[in-house]
Amino acid sequence: MGFGRRKLVITIVSFFCAALFFFWSCASTGSFAAVDGELGRGGYAGSVAQLEKNKNALYKSRDTILYYLDKGMLSHYAQDFAGSSQLLEAGERAIEDAFTRSVTQGIAAYLVNDNARDYGGEDYEDNYINAFNALNYYRRGQLEGAMVEIRRMNDKLQHLSFKYDTAISDIQKKAMEDGLSGIPQNPNAPSKFNNSALARYLGMLFYRGAGLHDDARIDRDWLLAAFANAPSVYSHPVPSSLSGELSIPRGMARLNVLAFSGLSPVKRENVVRIPLPNGRWIKIALPEMVSRRSDISRVELVFDSGGSFELELLENIDAVAKEAFKARQQLIYLRTIIRAIIKTAGSSALQAAAEEKEGDSRTTLEILSILTQIYADVSERADIRVSRYFPARAYIGGINLPPGRYSFQIKYYNRNRKVIASVWYKDMIVRENILNLAEAVCLN
C-alpha cells in the first residue's frame, strides 16, 4: 500500500472513529442507584438530594426535561409542593419549547438518530404533570389553581389522537422528496386514548370541594365514560366508592384517599436487522415501553380506632403510558425506517462504485463502503430516554364520617399479604362541605 493511499485510509478510519465516539458520548453515563436506594427506603427528601448531587452525571444537555420531571416528582413525594410546582411547570414549558425546536432539529435526527434531538417528553408525562401539579396546588390551599391544572390535562388529552398528524405528513413528504416509496406502516394501531379517569376523579373532587356540583357531576360522568371507551387501559372494575362521592348525607363529612404505587414504565431498545445482498443489512432500532416490577398487590386504610376499608384501583398509569406511546410510535417508526434506508443506501452505492474500479480506487471505495455500513449500524440507536419517577398505579377510596379528628394508616401489602410500607395520618381534621383528601405513595 502506497503512502498516499495509507494516509487516506487512516484519515477515513479516524473520521469514523471520532463520529462513533460522538454517538457513544451522547448517552448518560451516571447511575440512579443512589437516588433509587433512598426512594426504596421511603427517603424522598434524600432522593431529591442525591439526584441534585449527581445531576451532571445523570443528565446531558439534551435531557433538561427529564431533570425537571424527575426532580419535580420526587419533590412532590417529599412534600415540597411549591418546589415541585416550579419544576413541573418548568418541565411543561420546556416540553412546549422542545416541540417547537423539533422543527429545526428534524434534519439532524432524520440523518443520525433520535438521540440527536432534545428530549421532548412523552405524552403521558406531559399529561400527568398537570395531575400532580393539581395536587401540589391543592396541598398549598389553592383549589382554583388545582382546577386549572386538571382542565389543562383534559384539553391535552382531547388533542392527543391527532397531535402527530402534521409531523407524520412532513416525514412522508420528506421520504417522497428523497425518492423513497413503499415505506411500510407501523403494525401498531394509533392510540385512541383521550380521557383519564384520574384527571376526571380529581376534577370531580376539586369541583365538589368548591361547591360546583354540576361540574363535579359532569366529571363523574366523564370518568365512567373513560372506563367504557378504553377497555384496554381500564380492564379493572369501576371503583365502587364512586357511587357515594356526590351524595354525602347532611351533617357528615367525606374522607377521600388517593394512594400511588410502583414506578412507571421505562424504555428498551428493540433491534431488527434485515439482510441485503453483498453482505449489507438494514438496522432498525425502535424503543418500546416495558413495565417495572412492583411488589404491591393491595392497599388498605386502617383507622387507629378500629375499622378499615380496601382501596380500589382507579388508573393503571403503566397501561396509560404504553397506550399513549402508540401515537408517537408511528412517527418514530416512519422516521427510523426512512433513516435506516438512506444510511444503508450510501454503503451500497459505494460498493457498487467500487466494483467498477480497479486498484487503489477500488480498495478505497470498498473501505468506505464497509465503514459506512458500520456507521449506519452503530449510529442507529433507539431513543430510550424517559422519566423515572411517575407512579405506576393510582388507588382510591372514600368514606362518610362524622366531622372530627381521625388517625389512620394507609398500608401497602405485597403478594404474601405482608405490610411493606405504611403512611400514617395523625389527627387529620375531617370537615363537612370541603374536600378532605389524604394522599400516600409507595414506589416499591
Q: Is residue 321 part of a domain?
A: yes
Summarize the confidence of residues 374-384 as an average pLDDT: 77
Place of cell 413528504: 173
pLDDT digits (tens, 9 = 90+) for 210-233: 999 999 999 999 999 999 999 989
Q: Is residue 266 part of a domain?
A: yes
CA distance 340 to 350: 16
pLDDT digits (tens, 9 = 90+) for 39-67: 988 999 999 999 999 999 999 999 999 99
Q: Is residue 346 part of a domain?
A: yes
Q: Is residue 170 part of a domain?
A: yes
**CA distances, 209 to each of 85, 241, 244, 367, 426 (Å):** 21, 17, 15, 71, 22
Write the DSSP string, 25-88. Answer: HTS-----HHHHHHHHTT-HHHHHHHHHHTHHHH--GGGHHHHHHHHHHHHHHTT-HHHHHHHH
Summarize the confidence of residues 352-375 as an average pLDDT: 71
Look at 84 and 28; give whichever has higher pLDDT.
84
Q: Is residue 190 part of a domain?
A: yes
pLDDT digits (tens, 9 = 90+) for 310-338: 999 999 999 999 998 987 887 787 777 77
Q: What is the pTM of this model?
A: 0.84
Q: Is residue 9 part of a domain?
A: no
Looking at the structure of the chain, the number of domains it has is 1
Q: Is residue 237 part of a domain?
A: yes
Which domain covers residue 269, as residue numbers?
30-442
pLDDT digits (tens, 9 = 90+) for 400-433: 999 999 999 999 999 999 999 999 999 999 999 9
